[in-house]
Amino acid sequence: MSHIVWSIAGSDSGGGAGIQADLKATQSFNVHCCTVITALTAQNSLGVEALNPVSTTVIESQLTALSQDMPATVIKIGMLANVQQIQLIAEHLTHYKATWVTPPIVVYDPVAIATSGDALTEEDTVDALKTHLLPLVDVITPNTHETQLLTGVYLIGPEAVKEAAARLREFGAKSVIIKGGHWDYPKGYCIDYGVEADTEYWLGNEKIQTPHSHGTGCSLSSVMASCIAKGYPFKDAFILGKAYINAGLKAAIRYGEGVGPVAHTGFPVTLNDYPQVVEAGSWLADELEFTLPEEFNFAAGFASIDDLIGLYAVVDSANWVEKCLAMGVDTVQLRIKDSEQANLEAEIQTAIALGQKYGAKVFINDYWQLAIKHGAYGIHLGQEDIDKANLAAIQEAGLRLGISTHGFYEMLRAHNYRPSYLAFGAIYPTTTKDMTGQIQGLEKLTHFVPLMEPVYPTVAIGGIDLSRAQEVAATGVSSIAVVRAITEAQDPQQAVLELKQAMTQHD
Ligand SMILES: Cc1ncc(COP(=O)(O)OP(=O)(O)O)c(N)n1
Ligand SMILES: Cc1ncsc1CCOP(=O)(O)O
Ligand SMILES: [Mg+2]
């Protein structure tokens, strides 16, 4: 599907920030970017020489032309040079949000100061931003300085960052990301904070040492706008923005005598460029003095899987476990969702014993205590299950651990635990489980696999049948997990044979 992002921002004659950066960043994510230019800045690598704001009449004519023919999925706002511009943009956003069939999502990167330290507004715009613009913003992405300017909160530590984010939400911004590029806490690290609805999260990565960071804010918010336009959750959009910037900083070179622009290197393909999800119990969390929720324990590094996971059947009874093993399915998971089921423990025990009898890999979903008690080959846990399970006990017992992920945030979170495999889904719509809002699609799988497959076996799950197995396998994923493609097949044995064949015939 084609997506349109509008960038409402200033032109940077030096080509490193503003509209010029936005066009390169959106292009890297194959998103079409329309532009509404608010100022023609005269700047180079050494600084800003003139602002040259565009008149509100000219801005309005650009908005009118675009709104008549090319409405945006996401509107990204950067430099607004004066109060009149802020008011004009706010009026138009209000109108779009009230009248468009699909109201646009607004991403605001509050550009006030250039990397050089020069001001990028004609006057003090803080009050106008708070009154007119912030109530229309879906996600705001200030850096340390911009946060302090907008909130008056000095960011001396994690609690202050949270307080500043809460202020921005009081002004009306629905979600807030406070970028930590200018912090140096813990030393040598860059820590970012995000809050949306009732969830908050922290990301961290080692600082990339380069003077050439011009245009990072504009580029990051444009990547976010592109990913949000493609339907990615805000968290995932931010993670991709971070990874994009990290890769770009590593590749940045000097043009001119001063600060060079961040490089634009396409979709981030190197895991090392991605930030860590700061997980309670991890080293970074300890440094930031985050406390562990009670009874939570962190453990990383689980036993590896002996051979290929291959065709992975997910079934709801020991009887089906046996049928699958007899048919030559490589890996089987017992997934019983009714915890009140009378024979639950017996079913688990039988499934584990069958795995041993066939010398096969049998995973138990959810019931980690029973899996340990009866010596299962492995356990499969979802993201919510991780917080409740005793990971150290699973690790000590030597059981393999598979973790479900739905997107880039969860992928990085799961990576903290160094599990035995990572599952990604749902790839397609499925009737087996309610996955509303969590359908990943083949494109995301195509990005996920090369990032993770060098580290773990990867598993694709959700809506996969014979007609789709080949295209899924073509992503390089090592395993395909299915429920209905086997359990609802007219001839399950034939289905197993054909699925296995499709998995090897994708090249
Ligand atoms: C191989 C595989 N991948 C994902 C899941 C889903 O697990 P989870 O998120 O724990 O959800 P439930 O299966 O418990 O509903 C899975 N079971 N297997
Ligand atoms: C358990 C699970 N987790 C994500 S999708 C899914 C169900 C997959 O079932 P099917 O293969 O029938 O679509
Ligand atoms: Mg589960």
Supply the pLDDT for residue 296: 63
Nearest-CA residue for ligand 2 atom 1 is 433
Please write the tens of the pLDDT for every residue from 136-187.
999 999 999 999 999 999 998 899 999 999 999 999 999 999 998 777 778 8
- How remote is the CA of residue 368 from the centroid of ligand 3, in Å? 10
Supply the pLDDT for residue 387: 86
Interface pTM, i.e. ipTM: 0.95
Give the number of the atom of ligand 1 that is nearest the alpha carbon of residue 385. Answer: 10
Does the Cβ of 314 fall within 6 Å of ligand 1? Answer: yes
Does the Cβ of 425 fall within 6 Å of ligand 2? Answer: yes
Does the Cβ of 447 fall within 6 Å of ligand 2? Answer: no
Give the number of the atom of ligand 2 that is nearest the alpha carbon of residue 464. Answer: 11
Please write the tens of the pLDDT for every residue from 210-261.
999 899 999 999 999 999 999 999 999 999 999 999 999 999 999 989 999 9
Dump the DSSP string for 210-275.
-S--BTHHHHHHHHHHHHHHTT--HHHHHHHHHHHHHHHHHH----SSSPPBPP--SS---GGGSP
- How remote is the CA of residue 333 from the centroid of ligand 1, in Å? 9
What is the radius of gyration, based on Cα positions, of the chain?
Answer: 25
Is the same domain home to 115 and 153? yes
Is the same domain home to 263 and 331? no
Is the same domain home to 386 and 489? yes
Predicted confidence (pLDDT) at residue 38 exceeds the cutoff of 60: yes
Does the Cβ of 484 fall within 6 Å of ligand 2? Answer: yes
Please write the tens of the pLDDT for every residue from 443-497.
999 999 999 999 999 999 999 999 999 999 999 999 999 999 999 999 999 999 9
CATH number of the domain encompassing residue 383: 3.20.20.70
Is the same domain home to 34 and 157? yes
Give the number of the atom of ligand 2 that is nearest the alpha carbon of residue 335. Answer: 1
Is the same domain home to 128 and 165? yes
Considering 287, 319, 337, which residue would you say is the last residue of a domain?
Answer: 287
Q: Which residues of 337-356 are buried (b: 16+ CB within 10 A; e: fewer)?
A: eeeeeeeeeebbbbbbbbbe
Tokens representing residue 44 in the block:
């180079």
On whether 365 is known to bind a ligand per the annotation, the reply is yes
Strands of 268-309, DSSP E: 276-277
Supply the pLDDT for residue 118: 66
**Over the chain, what is the mean pLDDT?**
94
- How remote is the CA of residue 413 from the centroid of ligand 1, in Å? 16
Supply the pLDDT for residue 115: 63
Nearest alpha-carbon partner for 402 in 353, 364, 345 = 364
Supply the pLDDT for residue 506: 67
Q: The whole model's pTM is what?
A: 0.94
Does the Cβ of 382 fall within 6 Å of ligand 2? Answer: no
Supply the pLDDT for residue 428: 98
Does the Cβ of 161 fall within 6 Å of ligand 2? Answer: no
For 158, 177, 353, the CA distances from 242, given in Å and listed in that order, are 19, 12, 46
CATH number of the domain encompassing residue 86: 3.40.1190.20
479 in a domain, yes or no? yes
Rounded to 10 deg, the angle between the 234-251 and 408-415 helix axes is 70
Is the same domain home to 155 and 269? yes
Predicted confidence (pLDDT) at residue 102 exceeds the cutoff of 70: yes
> Domain containing 456: what range?
310-504
Tell me what the mean pLDDT of segment 348-358 comes to. Answer: 97
Supply the pLDDT for residue 117: 67
Please write the tens of the pLDDT for every residue from 328-348.
999 999 999 999 999 999 999
Q: Which residues sit opposite 42 in a β-bridge?
A: 50
Is the same domain home to 221 and 344? no
- How remote is the CA of residue 319 from the centroid of ligand 2, in Å? 19
